[in-house]
Amino acid sequence: MTTNYRDLFDLTGKHALVIGAGSGIGRATVHGLADFGAEVTCADLDPKAAEAVAAEASARGAAARGVGADVASEADVKALVESMPALDVLVCTPAINVRKPLANVSAEEFDRVVGINLRGNFFALREAGSRMAAQGKGSMVFFSSIRSQVVEPGQGVYAATKAGTLQMIRAAAAEWGPRGVRANAVAPGVVETPLTKQIKDRPDWYQAYAQKSALGRWAQPSELVGAVVFLASDASSFVTGSLLYVDGGWTAVDGRFTPPL
């Protein structure tokens, strides 16, 4: 049989759940999954934002709905996964950051970052993974970060949660792989989203980060979509437990110093 490789990326008939769909990477992901044929449930802490993104997906010709859900709430995540008519793809994007030296991070700040970035991701992973394992198929895509691999001052707690998410993904790949479930992580570099507005508002900081990548610029949320569609689709049918860098070469170029060769 001849394979039509274009069809490997087709998500027609697939049901996808995007958590954190209301803005940034989550919103762009909804658009991408919709364009490749998926029926998308858009979930966000802000239900109006989720509904707005669902309306955008519908305008692109996709079946979509928007719902409110807090990824940090075990009950919300459980109810959200149970509400899906079917679940073939999960994409989980939410994260927060507190940029402080470790010595200045309060217990409340630590708990807040861990509660969303790691605990919330665990809820989504457990509920979606269990459902997918029971049905014998599914693909989960979570957002880690280059900070799971490289750090800088003020990023300690955030980096720990992103490294923890990656390790949970690897464990999920090992535990549920025999039951047809794939689990992968995407590692963005610097992306222009609401989470990074603090940096964009500081031109010197913004430019310093731009020059850290091989491409000399920041990413737009749309530039993460290709990685997500690949990992969600049959094009990545033998990919699981992986970390896919979408960082403009940040982790490859070792500081961007060009020596006098």
Length of the chain: 261
pLDDT digits (tens, 9 = 90+) for 154-207: 999 999 999 999 999 999 999 999 999 999 999 999 999 887 888 888 999 999
Which position has the token pair 């707005």?
52
Residue 259's pLDDT band, with cuts at 50, 70 and 90, is: low
Lowest mean pLDDT among 1-5, 39-43, 142-146, 248-252: 1-5
Residue 78's pLDDT band, with cuts at 50, 70 and 90, is: very high
Per-residue pLDDT, 261: 67
Decide: 33 and 228 in contact? Cβ < 8 Å: yes
Residue 63's pLDDT band, with cuts at 50, 70 and 90, is: very high
CATH topology for 11-246 is Rossmann fold (3.40.50)
Top pLDDT among 138 and 259 is at: 138
pLDDT digits (tens, 9 = 90+) for 91-109: 999 999 999 999 999 999 9
Please state, rounded to an integer, the average pLDDT across all residues of the chain: 95
Residue by residue, DSSP assigns 141-197 as EEE--GGGT---TT-HHHHHHHHHHHHHHHHHHHHHGGGTEEEEEEEE-SB-SGGGH
Residues marked active site are found at 158
What integer is the mean pLDDT of 141-164?
A: 96
Top pLDDT among 200 and 133 is at: 133
Decide: 240 and 182 in contact? Cβ < 8 Å: yes
DSSP secondary structure letter of residue 219: B
Rounded to an integer, what distance in angstroms lies between the CA atom of residue 163 and that of residue 184? 13
Q: Are strands 39-44 and 15-19 parallel, antiparallel or unpaired?
A: parallel
pLDDT at 136 over 70: yes
Per-residue pLDDT, 1: 65
What integer is the mean pLDDT of 27-42?
A: 98
